[in-house]
Structure 1
Amino acid sequence: MGSEKTENGLYKIKTSQQVISCCCGAVLTSLLVTPLDVVKVRLQVQSNPALKGKSFLESDGLTDHICVYENENGKPWPKKLGHFTGMRDAFVKITQREGVRALWSGLPPSLLVSVPTTVIYFTCYEQLCDALTSKLGDDNDYIPLIAGATARLGAATVISPVEMIRTRMQSSRLTYKQLCAYISNNLAKDGWLSLWRGWGPTILRDVPFSALYWCNYEYFKKKLCKRAGKSEPTFLITFPSGAAAGSIAALLTLPFDVVKTHRQTEMWMSEAAHSTQQRSSSILEVMRRIVQENGFAGLYTGIVPRLAKIAPSCAIMISTYEYGKSFFRKLNKDRHMKNH
C-alpha cells in the first residue's frame, strides 16, 4: 500500500487523471470567464476604435484566452448598439440586442489554446513538485515557486508558436493557404525564431505570476487545511486560496501586462502604417515612456478589471482541478481496497 500513497498519506493519481482534471478545469474556466472577456473587449474598443479587427492572447497566468476585437465570423457589430456606461450596462445591452450567445463569442479558439496550455502547465507543475519534494523534502517553501515558474516557462515556450499562428489567423482572417505562405515568408526572412515573436514579454509577465501564484496558493492552502483539521483541501479551502493567490500575483505583475499590451499595440500601429523598418521598443523603453507620460500609476492601468477577471479565474480553475484530483484519489483508493 505504501507505493500507492504520497508522503502525506493521500493516494496517488495517474498522469492521465491529472490531464483529465486539467481539461475539466480549463473548460469550466473558459465557459465562465469568456463573457467577462467579451464585455471587456467591447469596452476597450469603445474607448479605442483603432483596436477593432485586432486579436490578442489574454492570459491570467493559469489559462489563456483568445480575444478578438470584432464579432464572431468577422461580422460587424450592430450599428445602433449604443454606448456602454460600464460592465453591467454592457452585459445587458449585448444580451438584449445580440442574444445570450454573443457573450461566448470566441469560445472555440479560446478552448483550443487554453486546454493544451493548461494540461502542459499543470501536469509539469505536479511532476516537478513531486521530483523536488523527493530531493528537498516536503517542508521546503521554495518548491511551489520553482516548480510554478519552470512549468509556466515550459508551457509558454511550447505553445508560443501555436498562439502566434492562431492570433495571426484571427487578426487578419487568413485562409490556410495564405497562412502557410505567411509563415514560409517569415521563416525565410527571420528564421525559426520568428515563430516565438512576443515570447519575451509573455514570459516576463507569466513566469513571475506563476511563481508568486503557486507559492501563495500552497501557503494559504496549508494554513487553511491546518486550521480546519483537513488532510485534503475542500472547495471552501481551494476557492478562497486560489482567489487570494491570484489577486496578489496579478497586483505585483500588472506592470509587465501593461508593457505587453503597449508593445502589441505598437506592433499593430506599425503594421497599419505598413512600416517594415520600424522596430518595436524594448521593454525598458516602454516602461520608461509610460512612467514619463503617466507617472508610476500608469504601470497599474486596468488593475480593477484585471483583478475582476483573474481572482475568479484562478479560484474556479484551481478548485475544479483540486476537486478532480480528490475524485481520482478516492477512486484509486477504492480500486486498491478491492484488489487487496
Structure 2
Amino acid sequence: MATNPQPPRPTFTTSLLAGAFAGTAVDLALFPIDTIKTRSQAPGGFLGNGGLKGCYRGVGANIIGSAPGAALFFVTYDYTKGFLSARRHAKEITEGGPSDWEAPIEHMVAASLGEVAACAVRVPTEVVKTRTQAGQHPTSLSALQAILAQHKTIGVSGVWGQMYRGWSVTIMREVPFTVIQFPLWEAMKEYRRRKSGREEINALESGVLGSVAGAVAAGFTTPLDVLKTRMMLAQEKTPFFTMLNQILKDHGYKAFFAGIGPRIMWISIGGAIFLGSYQWAANTLTEKRHGRPL
C-alpha cells in the first residue's frame, strides 16, 4: 500500500527564521484588533480605556518580542515534534502496527513546550504592551521605564516579578490554546496532504486551516485571556484565585467572555497570517535547501 510522502523535517535555521517572520507579520498586521480586545477586558471597559484612539500604542514592545518569541516557539515545537515522531516511526518498524493515534499527543506535547519557551520572551513584552494599550502609559518605552524605575523601592527581584506579572495565567491560557490549535491544524494539514498527494501544503492552505484552528481555540480560552489581562493590569500582584473571585463578585460570569468577538476575529485572522506566513517561509527555505519544489 502506497503511503503519502512526508514533508522534510525543518532544520533549526528554517524553524528559527520562519518563526521569526511569522511572528512579526501577524503582530504588525493585527495589533489594532488586539488593542480593542485588551481595552474591552480592562477595568473601565473599551471606551473608558481610550476607545479607538491610539490603536497602535504599545506596538514597539510587540515588535521587539514577537520575532524571538515566535522563533523560540517553532524551534522548540518542530524539534520536539520531529523527535517524538521519529521515535514513533521507529517503534512502528520494530513492533509493527500503526500508531497514528499518538500523533495528536506528540503535537500537544510539542506545542506546550514551545509555548513555555516562547513565554520567556512573550510575557515581559505582553506586560509592557498591555499597560500601554490600556492607557496606563503613553508609549511602550515609558511603560518599561516605569517598571524598571521601581527597582529603588522593590529591588531587582521585584522588578523581575513585575516584568513576569501574569506568567502563570499566561501559561495557563497559552498551553490549552495550543493544545487545541496545533493538533487540529496538524490533523487538517495531514488530511489535505493525503488528499492532494503532495509532500506539504502551500501557504494559502495552511493559512485557511490555521484560521479555523485558531478560531476554535480562541473561543474556548477567552476566560483565561480575561484573567491574564486583569492580572497584568493590576497595580499590585494578585493571586490567580483572588482575581478570579474578584471578577465573579464584581461583574459575574459574563465578564469572562469580555472581548470574545474581537479575540476570535483577531486570532482567526491571526492564525491565517501566522501559520500561512510560517508555511510560506518554511516551504521557501526547504525548497532552496533541497533544490526542488515540495
- Give the TM-score normalised by structure 1: 0.67
Letter of the 2:110 counterpart: A
The Cα of 1:110 is off from its aligned counterpart by: 1.6
Which of 284, 290, 293 matches 1:333? 290
Is residue 256 of structure 2 the alignment partner of residue 324 of structure 1?
A: no
The Cα of 1:241 is off from its aligned counterpart by: 1.1
Pick the structure with greater CA Rg: 1
Is residue 25 of structure 2 the alignment partner of residue 25 of structure 1?
A: no
Q: What corresponds to 1:131 in structure 2?
A: 83
In the alignment, the residues of structure 1 paired with residue 243 and residue 25 of structure 2 have an alpha-carbon distance, to the nearest angstrom, of: 35
Q: From the superposition, tell whether residues 166 and 288 of structure 1 become closer, same or farther in structure 2 (CA, over 3 Å).
A: closer
Aligned sequence identity (%): 22
The Cα of 1:235 is off from its aligned counterpart by: 2.9
Q: What corresponds to 2:92 in structure 1?
A: none
Structure 2 unpaired stretches of 5+? 90-98
In the alignment, the residues of structure 2 paired with residue 42 and residue 161 of structure 1 have an alpha-carbon distance, to the nearest angstrom, of: 19
In the alignment, the residues of structure 2 paired with residue 118 and residue 289 of structure 1 have an alpha-carbon distance, to the nearest angstrom, of: 33
Q: What corresponds to 1:257 in structure 2?
A: 225
Q: What corresponds to 2:189 in structure 1?
A: 221
Is residue 270 of structure 2 the alignment partner of residue 302 of structure 1?
A: no
- Are 2:115 and 2:174, in contact at CA under 8 Å, matched by a contact in 1? yes
Q: What corresponds to 2:70 in structure 1?
A: 118
Letter of the 1:308 counterpart: M
Which of 181, 198, 207 matches 2:166? 198
- Are 2:14 and 2:286, in contact at CA under 8 Å, matched by a contact in 1? no
Letter of the 2:107 counterpart: P
In the alignment, the residues of structure 1 paired with residue 247 and residue 144 of structure 2 have an alpha-carbon distance, to the nearest angstrom, of: 38
- Are 2:150 and 2:159, in contact at CA under 8 Å, matched by a contact in 1? no
In the alignment, the residues of structure 1 paired with residue 144 and residue 273 of structure 2 have an alpha-carbon distance, to the nearest angstrom, of: 35
Instruction: Select between 304-313 and 134-143 the one with higher mean Cα deviation.
Output: 134-143
The Cα of 1:283 is off from its aligned counterpart by: 2.5
Structure with greater contact order relative to length (CA < 8 Å, sep ≥ 6): 2
Q: From the superposition, tell whether residues 235 and 26 of structure 1 become closer, same or farther in structure 2 (CA, over 3 Å).
A: same
Structure 1 unpaired stretches of 5+? 1-6, 53-83, 85-89, 95-101, 271-278, 336-340
- Are 2:38 and 2:229, in contact at CA under 8 Å, matched by a contact in 1? no
Q: What corresponds to 2:151 in structure 1?
A: 183
The Cα of 1:179 is off from its aligned counterpart by: 5.7
Aligned CA RMSD, in angstroms, stands at: 3.5
Residue-by-residue CA offset, 1:111-150 (whole Å, 9 max, x unaligned): 1011111111111111111111122338322111111011
User: What aligned pairs does 1:1-340 form with structure 2 within 5 A after superposition?
Assistant: 8-38=5-35, 47=45, 51=49, 104-137=56-89, 139=100, 140=102, 141-161=104-124, 164=127, 171-172=136-137, 174=142, 180-183=148-151, 185-187=153-155, 190=158, 195-265=163-233, 267-268=234-235, 280=238, 282-291=239-248, 295-334=252-291
Q: From the superposition, tell whether residues 109 and 234 of structure 1 become closer, same or farther in structure 2 (CA, over 3 Å).
A: same
In the alignment, the residues of structure 1 paired with residue 195 and residue 6 of structure 2 have an alpha-carbon distance, to the nearest angstrom, of: 18
In the alignment, the residues of structure 2 paired with residue 197 and residue 35 of structure 1 have an alpha-carbon distance, to the nearest angstrom, of: 23
SS in 2 for 1:142: helix
Residue-by-residue CA offset, 1:60-111 (whole Å, 9 max, x unaligned): xxxxxxxxxxxxxxxxxxxxxxxx7xxxxx6xxx7xxxxxxx6645433221
- Are 2:18 and 2:282, in contact at CA under 8 Å, matched by a contact in 1? yes
Residue-by-residue CA offset, 1:269-307 (whole Å, 9 max, x unaligned): x6xxxxxxxx62x33343344445555443222211111
- Are 1:147 and 1:211, in contact at CA under 8 Å, matched by a contact in 2? no
Residue-by-residue CA offset, 1:2-30 (whole Å, 9 max, x unaligned): xxxxx954344431222221222122212
- Are 2:66 and 2:122, in contact at CA under 8 Å, matched by a contact in 1? no
- Give the TM-score normalised by structure 2: 0.76
SS in 1 for 2:62: helix
Q: From the superposition, tell whether residues 127 and 286 of structure 1 become closer, same or farther in structure 2 (CA, over 3 Å).
A: same
In the alignment, the residues of structure 2 paired with residue 168 and residue 193 of structure 1 have an alpha-carbon distance, to the nearest angstrom, of: 15
In the alignment, the residues of structure 2 paired with residue 108 and residue 188 of structure 1 have an alpha-carbon distance, to the nearest angstrom, of: 23
Letter of the 2:87 counterpart: K
In the alignment, the residues of structure 1 paired with residue 148 and residue 216 of structure 2 have an alpha-carbon distance, to the nearest angstrom, of: 41
Letter of the 1:325 counterpart: A
- Are 2:223 and 2:256, in contact at CA under 8 Å, matched by a contact in 1? yes
Letter of the 2:181 counterpart: Y
Q: From the superposition, tell whether residues 184 and 228 of structure 1 become closer, same or farther in structure 2 (CA, over 3 Å).
A: farther
Letter of the 1:264 counterpart: M
Q: From the superposition, tell whether residues 223 and 202 of structure 1 become closer, same or farther in structure 2 (CA, over 3 Å).
A: same
